[in-house]
Structure 1
């Protein structure tokens, strides 16, 4: 007997001996006795013997394998990143099947873990079982993954058994499922359930061992190659497509294009990895393009570089616009003179002055100045209120033209900004520096309002400063 309990079966013939496997008991002190029984049933117990069991602890190892290594059945498919996935929600019988045959060296309790990509909380479960087809609902096991988590290692959880005491309606949903396995060969069977939920690496690990084995570290970087444009291509225009392919033994997290070593666009997280670039913003000549792929473990790889030659025609020079003062929308007290100019009879405030509005279109963004053919009858009648794309204000939009008495038909740029300055002899800062307007491409309005009486405007010109 061992510690008072029978050890093996009774031995009926000499020599009286049994084999004892000491690994079945804990290390430490134990007591052995022998009990002899004669033909009439009388018994005698031997003097006890104390022994110490001291076995070296053994650890049952876990098993890890890729989801793609099993026998995969449609509608399961293998993704470019090395996982298995099916496209839509299915019943148990219609779901894809993946069968993995494995061998356990020591009997015991085991749990199953997997590297999972659950695109959302409605696509995070599979049907799973060991050594038998799973059933619905008893073998529906959800993984507690929320929206968008990629490469998350989780235990198979819950049993799918309805339980009104569980908030989720499933018994032990957040307790790992334990399988009691004998030593030998077994099969793990996974069936598809919710569409687009992906499986990567799977692990079968002992319960109560030194630790649950973790999937092997990812030390292999992804691969990436540029497929468009072709190396050596000449490109032009505003919509040149850059495309690349990328793959990994796990998942591809992103692909980032670079133009001459600088990132262009945002990292692309979903295949196909393509974006459009505007080559008009690049100088004509040779440029280098690369693509950098990053996998789920953060490992990076850079594609072989390609070169392209940008060859865009030079943009047309900015246009100079000229129009008659009489061509605008003229409001009294402005009036048209017999000489084809506009004038008002007397000095007015900005609100009382006549108004002339000229709508024009700029085809090239840049800096522009406004000039006009002016008749200033004297030095006290040589200014207007002027602005572009807004009503002029007083005094910041009073722009004098530097004309002296009686000058006829003199073309001058609008000057000054009307800001009072004690350092200026005239009281207006920068009075004799042309006013520069920075204009975008598109339609604008030049607004002129009358100020000093009998000062006439004829032809107006809007010209870029770089001509």
Structure 2
């Protein structure tokens, strides 16, 4: 064996090859390779280890939120706690249903929540997208809130998953080269091959000839090379195993990443200097509002926005306009410093209607958009006509107003009218001077609907106000007749009047009485829904002779008094008995009630029924004291029409029989309507509009094909028809809707809204969609038919907004059958729950 000379440095001999010219290249390649592999493995660990916190990661597949995040980044999301609010303004991971995807396949998406809707859903959008996502997001779809971004860590998985094999192959070659250089490329070259000790120093060199060490020590001389030890082989095996392990780990991460895609980009990136990372500093875009400059603008108009971003600050604010009928927003003006005001040169655009919005961008590039407002550019001049309301009579004052233009100019102003919908205009008032008042004597016009507008002329320029459509002229009162209540009158009696109005409709009818020989009239009852009748207990009146009349008032405020029915005797000293009307349809347990009076004393009152038109009377109950009422279990009776009466037996044994109430239907069909509900959509409450819904619930499952041919319950385009109650003899508050398909009414029956949603004698149609779903109540499956209103198809000017609450009544159609073939009951169904304005 050889021995090193005293004072020699063993390490210097091993470093000498490194400083040679041929030693630099492998050394630098080895260092860079180790840095590259360290970065890749660190990013992979960053993307995987947060799973210990319950987070999960996905690889971003598209660039819908560029430029901040690119495809191939890994986004880590944490589950949203049940009690946590939905992070409006933040980025969430959510499941986009197949119905919302052009491919028809459910996908995972990462987008920002940019707003919330009144119905509890949310609006999402990608930062790089011009428009918001078309499908609203529900809380249940949210699978996580974005917490951390690892840039580029998922690129190999993305390449594999999307079939980008050239890029994957190039990365694989580079990574394999880095592994080889990191583990094998840094060893010094040159010099004899050495076996190494664990401390890295040379153990021996291969020699020939006598051993100096042996000779010097007086030891026997050894000839030839000693047998090499296996430590170098083991080091090579360890490095090879490490290389295989690193490649296996990277391949596993690539394969795992290929299955964890999201079809969206992220919001803000993390820092990745020296393999470090951090959560994004600002996930929220600026809050932006715009101040309304008024209904009309002209010249250089100052526009103001309020923009707030407490975290990042504001980089710029622009205010944009959208002309009516256009889809493209244009920058009107911009500013970069608070207060965020700028001047819009409205003379650079044509006069007309515009929408305005403000867009604020913070210092990291996130943008927020304000709600849109409406205005009108009127650089020439404009004119408006005062709102009249929908019904007019007598002399009406019309006021026209110049809304823009120079006050020093002279304008020729007139008011015109046209029979509604004909567009044939005639002057109502001409050559008006400021303040442009026009007196319209409607008595010289036929009772009908008219359109009105104001016209202003300056030189050769003519401008028109918005047309006031469907103004009803009604100078004719209703027709009313008081029905004879009979004589003598005793007990509880029905008082009835008939009233009609050809134009604005009957608003209400009063039944009045007075003592014969006097002129003092007292209201007995007021009814606003046809038929105009009421029940009244005459025992509240003193014995004597009375006169009766009816007073009907139409929606224009004109009242008409009927002829008097005179000298009707009220005498409650005689025996009287009557049975109250229980309603046209009876089911389940029905309450039967009678009224009775006798000076001789009442022994008992029997309430009886008989099949309609027969004399086979069956006593349902015998009552000996007030109240004379009892419950009738109609389920023990065959369905059909029945007559009802009451029989009074006096203490003397004399009997008095009441008048008969005829043809009241007992109907205990298992299939029947159970409820009707309506809900207002995003539009104005109290008027029918887009997004409003009507829901009809049956007691059992129905066969959808019996509603309309070929229907299976899926979404079906239909038309909803709204008719004013006066067209159906139901008065102003009897407006009714039904559902039509291809011009024919479907078998859902009709719904009386019990309110005034359409102008008098007008019809409105709306596009709609009808669907049927199944719900289970008390273990019984039921069908729910939902009709969702869309745009107005005809009669837009004939809609009214009601401010009064009422309960709708649905009259189902017998043509609908259950899945077992049983026909539906036609018994009316009254809306349940609190009174509301429905639509």
| TM-score using structure 1 length | 0.25
Which structure has the higher relative contact order (CA within 8 Å, separation 6+)? Answer: 1
